[in-house]
Amino acid sequence: MNGQGKANVDLLLAESFKELTMKQPIEKITIKEITDRAGVIRPTFYNHFQDKYELLEWIIQTQLLNPVEPLIQNGMVNEALILLFANIEREKEFYIKASRLEGQNSFESIARQCVESVLLDVMKNRSAGKNPKFVWLTPERIAEYYAQSMCYVVIAWIQTGMTISAKELAEIYKYIIKRSMDDIIAEL
């Protein structure tokens, strides 16, 4: 199967999965239900994904993070945040349901791993050949820190019903990450 055909099947499986999440919790969705709705046979799923959690990871990576990575690479972080949050907002019901996934393959852990990977790529590209100010403060630790903080903010926003706009959330996130804890406490 060529790359285009694989991408089409991946997208078909992802859309089927998203539709099923509107009817039942992710934990209860079976591979058979995903493939039946997508109109493919079960082995086709396993040619593309190991399980439904890897499919969720593909959705996060492909539909949320891939579109924003070039913006981040080019220093357009605010624009990247607005696009990321707007894409989540566009599929609000899916992400509300997905954010409820807990346990070993929680939405939070899958999302954090994906965000951390993107941030690590950016940081490694930017820090190549430079000597760090603090040896302990590696690109891996920085990526993990920002992935955790971003996922916390995004999941809290999702789970409270996305009552503010994507643009406002981007402003709030930028406010938090650009200030020290002392600054924020003083401004309360």
Q: Of 158, 168, 156, which Cα lies nearest the Cα of 89?
A: 158
**Distance from C-alpha of 41 to C-alpha of 12, rounded to nearest angstrom:** 12
Sketch out the chain's domains with CATH numbers: 1-49 (1.10.10.60), 52-187 (1.10.357.10)
Q: What is residue 17's predicted lDDT score, i.e. its pLDDT?
A: 98
- The mean of the pLDDT values for the chain is 94
Report residue 96: phi and psi, to 5°: -65, -45
Identity (one letter) of the amino acid at 140? E
What distance, in Å, lies between the first and last C-alpha atoms of the chain?
A: 57
| Residues of the chain below pLDDT 70 | 1-4
Alpha carbon distance 31, 42 (integer Å): 7
In whole angstroms, how large is the CA radius of gyration of the chain? Answer: 18
Please check whether residue 152 is in contact with residue 179, taking contact to mean a CB–CB distance below 8 angstroms. no
Comparing C-alpha atoms, which of 77, 104, 88 is closest to residue 173? 77
pLDDT, position 79:
96
Q: What is the pLDDT of residue 3?
A: 58
C-alpha 89/C-alpha 69 separation (Å) is 18
Q: Write down the pLDDT at residue 7.
A: 79
pLDDT at 6: 80
Q: How many CB atoms lie within 10 A of CB 72?
A: 19
104 is written with which tokens? 């070993």
Is the distance from CB of 111 to CB of 60 less than 8 angstroms? yes
Q: Which of 89, 91, 66, 70 is nearest to 79 (CA)?
A: 70
